[in-house]
Amino acid sequence: MLHSTACLCLLCDIVATPELTFANYKTEVVLLTVIISLVANYFYGTGKNNDLVKTWEKPIAEVLKANFSLVGDGKKVLEWDSPADMLFYASGRRHCKFVQGHIQLKARQDVIAIANDLAANNQEKVEVEVTLNDDEFSGFVFAAIPRKRSKAVNRDRYDISTFTKAVGNDKISPKVALCSENADATAQLLASGLEEILADEKALLEELYVTDSPEVKPESHDFKREKKLLAVIRLPNADDEGIKKFKETLEFVFYLVDYIPEAIALRPESVRKLSKARDEAYKEFARMAEQDRQDVLAKTLAEKRRLELEEVERMSPEQRRKWEEKDRKRQLKKEQGKRVRRIR
């Protein structure tokens, strides 16, 4: 009997359920908490950005519709590109082909991106790129950028590093750096009201570029040259005052679309200097183009020679002899022509 009781007690000890404590599931609880937090932050951040876009869509749409006949697809003005990025497009305006823009918000749905934005002090902004008509003004390169970014811009942008140099201006904020290719063009551009904006340290206009050359160094001679006006506008607080100031800044950018071709009139010597600078800068591309033409010509002549030799193979011995004599005279004449050119 005692033996049976002892066995029963031992069996109960074996099958007893272990005590449930937080320590047993600490890792699982932490992981679950992190996952729930990330999901909650994603929906919160996405919703917050949706609200901001709704706030900024109206002033952006108003300025675009006042300046362009076709905005967006005719129905929507803004198009989502990611939870933190929106794009817009408009066309149908004098002096330009079209404008495309990028609204860059903070990636509030991404915890790591939020940390990076805080560490780098990244600001929410709108980037506007207007492709101007090609034949309405003499092309030049100009940039107004934050002084702290001037080295990076000069390093990364082919047009700025190739054609411009830093210039001083006591009438603008010391936080702004000017990159100028031509003093004549720069003076007239600043007279548009740009100088007053750059003097205001609270201005929303962060960066401005006028260029007729590629941002990235071309890899071949057949690169596309377009005249562009690019602006980066910082997004302020979405209150009445901030929205009013933003609209004024965006309207000024489109005012420059008219001002540049209509009001900037360069002296003939300035135009000659600009043209000479491009000839010099694009010299290597001209050589590449000439080499490509020579390669195409050589291939064409080689193919013509191959077909001719195939035709000779089908000739009778007498016809072949006559052809070889004619070909010998032709080659001799060609060599004589080369010697004459070398002597000259």
AA identity, residue 319: Q
Q: What is the rounded distance in angstroms from the CA atom of residue 53 to the CA atom of residue 3?
A: 79
pLDDT > 70: percent of the chain: 83
DSSP assignments along 282-337, one per residue: THHHHHHHHHHHHHHHHHHHHHHHHHHHHHHHTS-HHHHHHHHHHHHHHHHHHHHH
Tell me if 130 sits within 8 A of 102, measured CB to CB.
no
AA identity, residue 288: M
Judge whether residue 196 has pLDDT over 70.
yes
Label residue 290 exposed, middle or buried (CB < 10 Å: 0-12, 13-18, 19+): exposed
DSSP assignments along 190-237, one per residue: IIIIIHHHHH-TT-SEEEEEEESS-SS--SSTTPPP--EEEEEEE---
Q: Give pTM, 2 decimals.
A: 0.75
Residue 188, C-beta contacts closer than 8 angstroms, at least 6 positions apart: 263, 264, 265, 266
| pLDDT at res. 38 | 76
Q: How confident is the model at residue 322 (pLDDT cuts 50, 70, 90)?
A: confident
Between residues 277 and 334, the one the model is more confident about: 277
Residue from 130, 106, 126, 129 nearest 59 by CA: 126
Q: What is the mean pLDDT of residues 74-78?
A: 87
Q: How many CA atoms lie within 13 A of 202 on its CB side?
A: 5
Buried-exposed string 149-168: b where 16+ CB fall within 10 A, e elsewhere: ebeebbeebebbebbbeeee
Q: What is the mean pLDDT of residues 291-308?
A: 78
Judge whether residue 243 has pLDDT over 50.
yes
H/E stretch holding 127 reads strand 125-132
Residue ranges of alpha helices (H) inside 16-86 are: 26-67
Q: Is 166 helix (H, G, I), strand (E, B) or coil?
A: strand
| pLDDT at res. 341 | 57
What confidence tens digit (pLDDT) does each residue in 85-128 have? Answer: 999 999 999 999 999 999 998 877 776 766 776 666 678 999 99
| pLDDT at res. 2 | 46
Judge whether residue 211 has pLDDT over 80.
yes
| pLDDT at res. 317 | 85
